[in-house]
Amino acid sequence: MTARSGSISEFPAGKTVLASSVAKIYTSEIKKGIEVLGRSPKLVGFLANSDPAARMYAEWTGKTCQEAGFQFELREVDKEDLEDAIFQANDDDSVDGIMIYFPVFGNRQDQYLQQVVSKDKDVEGLSHLYIQNLYHNSRYLDDKKTKKSILPCTPLALVKILEYLGVYNMILPYGNRLYGKTITVVNRSEIVGRPLAALLANDGAVVYSFDLNGVQMFTRGDGLKLHRHRVTDVEVKLEDAAKISDVIITGVPSESYKFSTNAIKDGAVCVNFSTAKNFDPSVKTKASLYVPSIGKVTITMLMRNLLRLVDNKASPAKESL
C-alpha cells in the first residue's frame, strides 16, 4: 500500500457520534419536565400486527418510556377493532398520548387510521394539522404563540441531531439557522424524507431530495426571501449534489445500498436514519462527523412530544391564572 492510498486509520479526522450522546441531553430535560408536572403522563401504544419485529420495537419503546418516568400501556388489538380502540383512547382522560405501531393494513387504510388519533394525543406528530403547519412553516398552534405545533418524531430527531452536531448556527436568528447550508437527503417518504426536507429548507437550507422518482430542490430562495420553502423538480445527479453538500442524510431501507464515499465532500456531516447501514465504514475518511443510526433520539422526541401535548392541553388554565 502506498502512502497515498490511505487506510482508514490514516485519516483520524472523522468522528463518529452516537445517537445516545444526543438523546441524553433531552432525557434529562424530559425527567425535569415530569418532575415539574408532578404526575406521570400515560402513553398508549396500539399493536395490531403479528410481526415479531414490531412487537420487539413496541416493547423497547415501552421500556424506554417507563424508564424515563412515563406510564406505558401496550394494547394488542385485532386490525378490525383498532379504529374503535383508538376512539376509546381519544375519549379517555387518563390517556395523554397515543401511538400506533405501523404497518397495520400496509396500505392507505393506515394513513386513515393515523388521522383517527386525536391531534391532542398524537405523540408522533402525524395529524394533518401538524403536518400542514410543518409544510407552511407555522410553528405555533395559537396566535399568542404559547403552544408549539408538534413535529413528527423522526424528522424532529434529525433536526436535534444537526443542532447537536453544530450544523444549526445558533447565532443566526431562530428559523434561519441553516442559512448557507446545502443538504442532500436520500429518501422522500411521506413519513420522514419529505417532511424532513421541508423542515430543513424552512430553517434556511438548500435541500436536494432524492428518491426513485427523481430529484427535488427545497429552498426558501436567495436571501431566504420566502417565508416557507418552495419545491422544484431539478436535474441533478446524486454525486453532484453530494459534492456541494455540507450534510448528507440517508434513509434507504436496504442492506445492499451504500452511499458512495467518493462523492462525499471532505469534512461533510453524514447521518443515516435507515435501520440498514447506508454508509460504508470508509465514510469517516471523508466525513467530519458521522451518525450511524438515530433510533434513540427518535424515541426521546416521542417522549418530548408527549410532554408538549400535556403542556398544550394545560395552557388555557395557565393563561387564566
Binding site for a second copy (CB under 8 A): 6, 10-15, 17, 164-166, 169-173, 176, 179-181, 204, 206, 222-225, 244, 246, 265-269, 285-286, 288-289
In one-letter notation, the amino acid at residue 245 is S
CB of residue 69 vs a second copy: minimum separation in angstroms?
Answer: 28
Nearer to a second copy, 7 or 94 (CB): 7
CB of residue 157 vs a second copy: minimum separation in angstroms?
Answer: 17
CB of residue 145 vs a second copy: minimum separation in angstroms?
Answer: 19
Nearer to a second copy, 10 or 255 (CB): 10
Cβ atoms of residues 81 and 47 within 8 Å: no
Nearer to a second copy, 161 or 302 (CB): 161
CB of residue 268 vs a second copy: minimum separation in angstroms?
Answer: 6
Q: For residue 281, give Cα distances in angstroms to 244, 250, 314.
A: 21, 14, 47
Lateral strand order in the sheet of 206-211: 15-16, 289-291, 269-272, 247-250, 182-186, 206-211, 214-219, 230-234
Q: For residue 110, give Cα distances in angstroms to 91, 100, 251.
A: 21, 9, 21
Scan for cell 434529525, then name that residue: 158
Round to the nearest angstrom and report the end-to-end CA distance of the chain.
73
d(CA 193, CA 196): 5
Catalytic residue among 89, 123, 153, 206: 153
Nearer to a second copy, 26 or 72 (CB): 26
Q: Active site includes 270?
A: no
In one-letter notation, the amino acid at residue 67 is E
Catalytic residues: 153
